[in-house]
Amino acid sequence: MATFITKTEYDAVVVGAGHAGVEAALALARLGHNTALLTLNLDSISFMACNPSIGGTAKGHLVREIDALGGEMGVNIDKTTLQIRMLNRGKGAAVQSLRAQADKARYHQNMKKTLEKTKNLTIIQSEVTEILEENGEVSGVLTAFSEYIKAKVVVIATGVYLKSRLIAGEWIKETGPNGFEPANKLTESLQNLGFTIFRFKTGTPARLDVRSIDFSKCEIQEGETNVYPFSFLTKRVPQKQSPCYLTYTNEETHKIIRDNLHRSPLYNGSISGTGPRYCPSIETKVDRFPDKERHQIFLEPEGKDSGEIYVQGMSTSLPHDVQIKMYRSIKGLENCKIMRYAYAIEYDCIDSLDLTPSLMFKKVKGLFTAGQINGSSGYEEAAAQGLVAGINASLYLRNEKPLYLTRDSSYIGVLVDDLVTKGTLEPYRMMTSRAEYRIFLRQDNADLRLTEIGRKVGLVNDKRYKVFLKKKEMLEKYRKEMEENHSPLKAREFVEKYGGKLSGGISYKEMIKRGIPLEDIIKEFGAFSGAPFDILETLETDAKYEGYLKKGLEQIEKAKRLENKLLPSDIDYSKIEGLRLEAREKLNKIRPNSLGQAERISGVNPADIAVLMVYLSK
């Protein structure tokens, strides 16, 4: 171990105070562990380096699940929302997702205040340069100030700060996002511990001066007041919200980009990191879709007290002179002034296949990682992993079994399983299509799926649990009303208006299954008096998709049979006859917990699973 000047001791150390780090630290501290949260800069706590928003397609599901388990992200965004909307309104309930525009400064300030008021939690501005271990177990960290902080568990949540550098055209600077300092020494320590290191990249668009934009040329995008909030503890969303605006790129914009592609770091070799396919830069979109005449651009406020406008959909790493021409070619932005230029950022991250489903490093006990260091992208994915890592670090300290959230229980379960079973060769982004049981994993029922788990772990306090029990009681009451039969005399004329015929009694549930909107049923019969709209949404969705839900349950039960067949941790797969060479290599690397996890490993086919089943039976 390197020499040190001072020594302190905690139960747990969390390295990094981004969206992953704060959830991990809060979970550990709230569960009674003396925890130190170390960050390069106190001003970067929960900092929104890119879009000042929370949620979005599938990401909204993650936030509601974080909240159901007792996490903080949903509570914090509800306190700092500028505008909130439900995306995919015209599609099925399974893919509808909340998205809120945040007040960027207040989001940081509120989270920092929450951390400062949390018992058992100490916040320290310091750079961690080395992770220390003894006999295969983590023993603490060493800081740039030569301080040895001893701990039984360490959670690394360094985000995009490991050897980070910003790039815009020919301009390159070794720095973290928004001018924050990078962490240049920790990567070497991680490699020495046995981590495999990748190089990823992401980017952000420019911020424009609100006074220089002609919003009259843009389409206004108002928020919604008839949606539920992110947190199950929040009573309602803000009734007064800030507008966003929509505009579009055009052929002139695309010509400027095409004429300058040779100056883009993405195309001239200046960037070596792998970027996200599902959130491409504007130059990538123009190059990849040459026949598309225009791309949507959203103009979104960064805060009530800020004059900066975020240009959603126009991430770029083109040079500054090209950025000015490009943005000014867009309707409404003809005279725009750039306050912060767009840039790409490269950073080191680990191979998530080096982790167990608890997010603990396979080679060092007590060492956990969470967030973008695991190869994911997005605040929501980071926070979800931070919560999982914090919970499992607590369980490790208590010598209890780790918490493995399954794919049929949550989007968080899908996220973690994808990372530790399939790995990722690009920044991982959660999407509804990744969840095979998404009709079960809706936003409206996140608490019904996960709050009991959070309660058992110890994160769901009495206040939250009381709210949950009250909702369950209301659901049970209104479900009985939903299933009560009504005489055909009362319902026949109403049902016939929707093209149906009655020969006997009918329930509200049966009406919904016939395609009659619940809203119309309530108007006609005065049903479900006093029921909140989130309760009504759950009732209507469960009734409408009852057949699909029953089939899905059968699939889940079938999958559980493989999930319940556990694989011993000491199997040497290279010695199992009948397994193909690729399967042996993948199984020895990932070391799955069950046949179900083994089945999802790329390179392991059904014949290999059959061999493993025979092996287990012997």
Entry pTM? 0.95
Q: Say what the pLDDT of residue 1 is.
A: 56
- Looking at the fold, whether 437 and 511 belong to one and the same domain comes out as no
Burial (CB count within 10 angstroms: exposed 0-12, middle 13-18, buried 19+), residue 585 = middle
Q: Say what the pLDDT of residue 125 is.
A: 97
Q: What CATH number is given to the structural domain containing 608?
A: 1.10.150.570
Distance between CA atoms of 346 and 164, rounded to whole angstroms? Answer: 5
- Looking at the fold, whether 531 and 425 belong to one and the same domain comes out as no
- Looking at the fold, whether 194 and 314 belong to one and the same domain comes out as yes
End residue of a domain, out of 460, 489, 516? 460
- Looking at the fold, whether 575 and 504 belong to one and the same domain comes out as no
Q: Say what the pLDDT of residue 505 is.
A: 85
Residue 562 lies in a domain: no
Residue 486 lies in a domain: yes
What single-letter amino acid sits at 551? K
Q: Is residue 244 within 8 Å of 82, Cβ to Cβ?
A: no
Q: Say what the pLDDT of residue 105 is.
A: 97
Q: What CATH number is given to the structural domain containing 537?
A: 1.10.10.1800
Q: Say what the pLDDT of residue 489 is.
A: 78
- Looking at the fold, whether 27 and 148 belong to one and the same domain comes out as yes
Please count the CA atoms within 13 angstroms of the CA of 313 that sit on its side-chain side.
Answer: 15
Domains in the chain: how many in total? 3
Residue-number span of the structural domain to which 162 is assigned: 1-460
Q: Say what the pLDDT of residue 343 is.
A: 95
- Looking at the fold, whether 55 and 89 belong to one and the same domain comes out as yes
- Structure tokens of 37? 């949260």
Residue 564 lies in a domain: no
User: What averages of pLDDT result for each successive group of 10 residues across the chain (618 residues)?
Assistant: 81 98 98 98 96 96 98 98 95 93 98 98 97 97 96 98 95 93 97 96 96 98 96 96 98 97 84 77 93 96 97 96 98 98 96 97 98 97 98 98 96 97 94 93 96 98 97 95 84 86 88 92 91 91 91 88 90 93 93 94 92 89
Q: Say what the pLDDT of residue 272 is.
A: 73
Residue 561 lies in a domain: no
- Looking at the fold, whether 534 and 589 belong to one and the same domain comes out as no
Q: What 3-state DSSP class applies to 324? A: helix
Distance between CA atoms of 189 and 299, rounded to whole angstroms? Answer: 41
- Looking at the fold, whether 301 and 229 belong to one and the same domain comes out as yes
Strand-pair partners of 594:
566
- Looking at the fold, whether 408 and 511 belong to one and the same domain comes out as no
Distance between CA atoms of 492 and 472, rounded to whole angstroms? Answer: 32
Strand-pair partners of 125:
39
- Structure tokens of 616? 């287990």
